[in-house]
Amino acid sequence: MAYAVGIVLFALGILISVALHEAGHMWPARAFGMKVTRYFIGFGPTLFAFRRKGVEYGLKAIPAGAFVKIVGMTPQDDDVEPGDEHRAMWRYPVWKRTIVLSGGSIMHFIIGFLLLWITASFVGMPNPALADPQPAVITVQPCVIADYQRVECSDSDPVSPAKKAGLQDGDKVVKVEGNTVATWEELLLALRSTRPGAATLLVERNGQLLPPIQVDLVEVDRPETDGTLKKRAALGVGFKLTIPEEVTYGPVDGFGEAIGFTGDAFVGTWQSMKKIPEKLPKLWHALMGEERDPETPISVVGASRLGGETVERDRWSLFLLILATLNFFIGVFNLLPLLPLDGGHIAIIWFEKVRAWVYGWFKKPDPGRVDYFKLMPLTYVVILIFGGFTLLTVAADIVNPVTIFGR
């Protein structure tokens, strides 16, 4: 039940973000005096609508997005009524049109920042100390799993040497066979270099050193980085985190933390977008049944499923972080200089501006506005490519979804 609720909540968060995206276009357009006639959430049949100050607001039956109608977006638009020519969007200065066109992405950036601020201030951000080496504090496992591909003990698995030797959860290993270990990684390396069989451990419990403990390390097969199996000694312990996984900063310090996380989000978003072409073959392979690469692109369907996983496990901070990341991605993606994206329209109006300036420099008449009709074939190509990409990601997210915790 919680999983389904999480999916619905995340989908609702996306719908609200898209609705605010369109509001990000509408509000500055109205402030500048451009004529706005319609603002609707959803598509399809109208459920209800009302008019206020010349704008029709409403809700439609299919909650798959939102739209706003600004009159005269391009010189080729035929939606300008007599007497409204001066309010057509294309007649306004470039800087005003740029603000209106970029308003949707700016709104996504604001939403993303607010979500990060809420998470950092009140819910909890990943503890930065987790990036530091952690001490070799252990949890004692009931067994040593012989088959590394399993995650649970079976009757054939040997009892954990740590359990047999009387080690306890929270013990800190400080020496293995006389070799000092300070971190969990050093403990793993020390065990890998120790032969199976009798070994001596020096352990700290509740701040006090215990007498040397004798353990009988068992032999198991474990994979190397190249995939080959190698026999190793196993103690039968897991890692115990000694610091909180998440920290909150309060509303004041949380503002600064949110700024830092926002910068990281922009960098991460751009890096992810650059990797999309190389990830497409892996996305297709996942659709054909191969293991899904967790770094392959996901659709709103996949993102909503991740939202369901986080709510199911009461990980609200992760829920908000995923929603914030999605807003940053949509905001950046929408500014790409390609029609029909807002970035494509921005690129055209600035091309017109620069071209007019260059012609004026050479004492030539302004060549006028770009003919959008001539760009329609290229626009259709972009729509087909984006449409195919969307269908591919949605199909993969249904057939072979990315998961955070596994299901």
At CA 381, angle to CA 378 and CA 384, rounded to 5?
Answer: 155
Q: What is the pLDDT of residue 170?
A: 93
- Which residues, other chains included, contact 249 with Cβ-Cβ below 8 Å and sequence gap of 6+? 120, 121, 125, 256, 257
Q: Distance from CA of residue 268 to its chain's centroid?
A: 9
| CB burial of residue 271 (10 Å; 0-12, 13-18, 19+) | exposed
Question: φ and ψ at 255, to 5 degrees?
Answer: -65, -45
Q: What is the pLDDT of residue 407?
A: 46
* Binned average pLDDT, 10 residues per bin, the chain of 407 residues: 90 95 97 96 94 94 93 86 90 96 97 96 89 90 86 87 93 93 91 91 93 93 76 89 88 92 89 83 82 84 90 91 94 93 95 93 88 90 90 87 72
This prediction's pTM: 0.83
Q: What is the pLDDT of residue 406?
A: 55
- Terminus-to-terminus CA distance in the chain, angstroms? 14
Q: Residue 271's beta-bridge partner residues?
A: none
Asked if 278 is an active-site residue, the reply is no
User: What are the structural domains, with CATH classification, of the chain?
Assistant: 138-239 (2.30.42.10)
Q: What is the pLDDT of residue 225?
A: 66
Whole-angstrom distance, CA of residue 176 vs CA of residue 170: 17
Q: Are the CB atoms for 302 and 329 separated by under 8 Å? A: no
**Catalytic annotation, pick one of 22, 257, 309, 352:** 22
